[in-house]
Amino acid sequence: SSAQASLSGRFEGSVYGESKLAGEGLFREYSERTGAPVLIYRFPNLYGKWCRPRYNSAVATFCDAIANGRPYTVNDPSVELELLYIDDLVDEMLGALLGEEHRCGYEGLERVEGEDFCYVPQTDVKSLGEIVYLLGCFRDSRETLSVPDLAEGSFSKKLWSTFLSYYEPGHFAYGLKPNVDDRGSFTEFLRTPERGQVSINVSKPGITKGNHWHMSKWERFLVVSGTASIKLRKVGEDAEGNQFPVDEYVVSGSDMRAVEMIPGYTHSITNLSDTEDLVTVMWANEPFDPENPDTYYEEV
């Protein structure tokens, strides 16, 4: 059934809702007459991958329009929808077949304790404005490289999976912007507000990069092609006034090992090849902020 069967709030007087309510009654009569078990779910707004746009799902319509540059209209951004992701619905249906349905009652649109109805517990309430804003961020992420909250069960994770399914064939790839100089290149791949950023560093033969340290930032290097010498040295001096010893790691794409760039250690990476480029995946725990770079030059 549908939330419209409540005939409450914005669904008051809904002919569609009246038909759904009548359908619920028919099933209850059938159950009383035959003894067959009947589970009645009043679904809110469903959304998910491959839903037909410009039909009966605002989310599908917005996803299709924003992903493919089509016009769309939001009449009232403040309107709130209770949203149910299709994967969560399917999980509930599979559980219901095993007798593991979630039971409830309803007072209008409000879910209360009871046994007369069933429901899917994983729903989100979002305004149209919030939905469209998030979808715009997903589209713009190809430029900003920013990835929003993707925590398990989060609305943004489900909505982004939905959004991606609306890109048309031929539009799955997009270019990045490498920073190129005579030493090679450095290209950001993605960045997140809580999990830092990932970049691809290409060093030409014999080139050394780095020779700097960070106060709080840390990084993780993974050489995926070529052979490198990664050196680290604790900044400052020991009790005798001498520099701390250099810690060196020779790593290669044929024997992948991650190397941590520890806060307070100046570090460098050198391409040991005379002929081949060195390719390194670099992760930093925070996106680079030019206003607060936390980067201090010092040779290893």
Q: How many other C-beta atoms lie within 10 A of the C-beta of residue 128?
A: 18
Q: Where are the domains of the chain?
A: 39-164, 179-297
* DSSP conformation class of 243: B
Three-state DSSP class for residue 59:
helix
Can you give the pLDDT at residue 193? 83
d(CA 123, CA 31): 28
Give the mean model confidence (pLDDT) for residues 18-47.
Answer: 97
Can you give the pLDDT at residue 148? 84
Q: Torsion angle, CA of 191/197/203/208, rounded to 10 degrees? A: 140
d(CA 6, CA 152): 31
Q: Are 39-164 and 179-297 in the same CATH fold? A: no
Whether residue 150 has pLDDT greater than 90: no
pLDDT (tens digit, 9 = 90+) per residue, 106-141?
A: 999 999 999 999 999 999 999 999 999 999 999 999
Can you give the pLDDT at residue 182? 97
Phi, psi of 206 (to 5 degrees): 80, -5
d(CA 300, CA 285): 22
**What superfamily in CATH does domain 179-297 come from?**
Jelly Rolls (2.60.120.10)
CB 234 within 8 A of CB 265: yes
Q: Measure CA of the first residue to CA of the last residue in the chain; give whole Å.
A: 68
- CATH match of 39-164 with 3.40.50.720: yes
Number of Cα atoms under 13 Å in the Cβ half of residue 65: 17
Residue 16: active-site member? yes
**Catalytic residue (choose from 16, 30, 133, 296):** 16
